[in-house]
Chain A
Amino acid sequence: DTGVSQDPRHKITKRGQNVTFRCDPISEHNRLYWYRQTLGQGPEFLTYFQNEAQLEKSRLLSDRFSAERPKGSFSTLEIQRTEQGDSAMYLCASFGQGENTDTQYFGPGTRLTVL
């Protein structure tokens, strides 16, 4: 399978703990995005990378959140001192050519539950 992959698929943690998620984009895609989706909402943009450079950060990305893409391939999203409000699906996407158009291709997501 050459799609976007995310690990882990599910994470349960206690409030105050740190968590880290990983995203592997489609190999030839230079742009990588992180989104967050809560129940009843659409995905909300968090940040994106062009190769290893972080080009844009949403105001939703508080100081407790940090994302990296050190070698321009996979990316990690870390949440420090998790809060119950961080419980959500975290989606990763990469941008590149499809059958008829360039678009963002999404991974399956990591579901985070903060107890």
Chain B
Amino acid sequence: DQQVKQNSPSLSVQEGRISILNCDYTNSMFDYFLWYKKYPAEGPTFLISISSIKDKNEDGRFTVFLNKSAKHLSLHIVPSQPGDSAVYFCAASATGGGADGLTFGKGTHLIIQP
């Protein structure tokens, strides 16, 4: 069973606009969530994370929102830039700080159009 779900395999956004990537989870034990970005032939690169005690975390152009009651999180990228074109993975951890094995979604391929 897929405990972390990214239901949009791909998303196309115009340069300069907002990109919103969504992620849902089913395991109530998850208390720490992360977003990674991946280019072809490279390993995932950490972007931003959020603990379950918060509902928002911001880092530059990236903001992650967490809705615990809906078991839903989203990543907002504003403004979107061509270099943001990549596959984005949502990941979850059941121990504080993501120090255990992470559970990943299948990813969303973000395409930024000029």
Please list the residues of chain A having a beta carbon within 8 angstroms of any beta carbon in chain B.
Answer: 4, 31, 33, 35, 40-48, 56, 58, 91, 93, 95, 98, 100-109
Stretch from B13-21, B78-86, B93-101 forming part of the interface with A: B93-101
Contact of A43 among B42, B44, B46, B99 (CB under 8 A): B44
B26-46 CB contacts (< 8 Å) to partner A: 34, 36, 41-46
Interface range on chain B (Cβ under 8 Å from partner): 20 to 34
Complex CA–CA separation, A31 to B4 (angstroms):
23
Q: Across the A-B interface, give the 5 residue pairs with the lowest CB-CB distance, nearest first.
A: A42-B104, A45-B101, A106-B43, A103-B46, A106-B44
* Residues A102 and B107 in contact in the complex (CB < 8 Å), given A4-B43, A43-B89, A108-B43: no
- Within 8 Å by CB of A104, from B41, B102, B106, lies B102
A102 proximity list for chain B (CB < 8 A): 97-99
**Contact B46–A58 (Cβ < 8 Å):** no
Instruction: Please tell me if the beta carbons of A103 and B42 are within 8 angstroms of each other in the complex.
Output: no
Say whether, besides A105-B46, A106-B45, A42 and B105 are in contact (CB < 8 Å). Answer: yes
22 A-B interface contacts by CB (under 8 A): A33-B102, A35-B101, A35-B102, A42-B4, A42-B91, A42-B105, A42-B106, A42-B107, A43-B89, A43-B104, A44-B104, A45-B103, A48-B101, A56-B100, A101-B49, A102-B97, A103-B97, A104-B34, A105-B46, A106-B36, A106-B44, A109-B43
Nearest B residue to A92 by beta-carbon distance? B43
* B residues in contact with A91, CB < 8 Å: 43-44
Residue of B nearest to A56 (CB): B101
The minimal Cβ–Cβ distance linking A12 to chain B, given in whole angstroms, is: 16
Known: A42-B104, A42-B105. A95 touches B99 (CB 8 A): yes
CB closest residue in chain A, given B96: A102
B101 and A58 contacting across the interface, CB-CB below 8 Å: yes
Q: Please determine whether A108 and B105 come into contact, CB atoms closer than 8 angstroms.
A: no
Judge if B1 is at the interface, Cβ distance under 8 Å: no
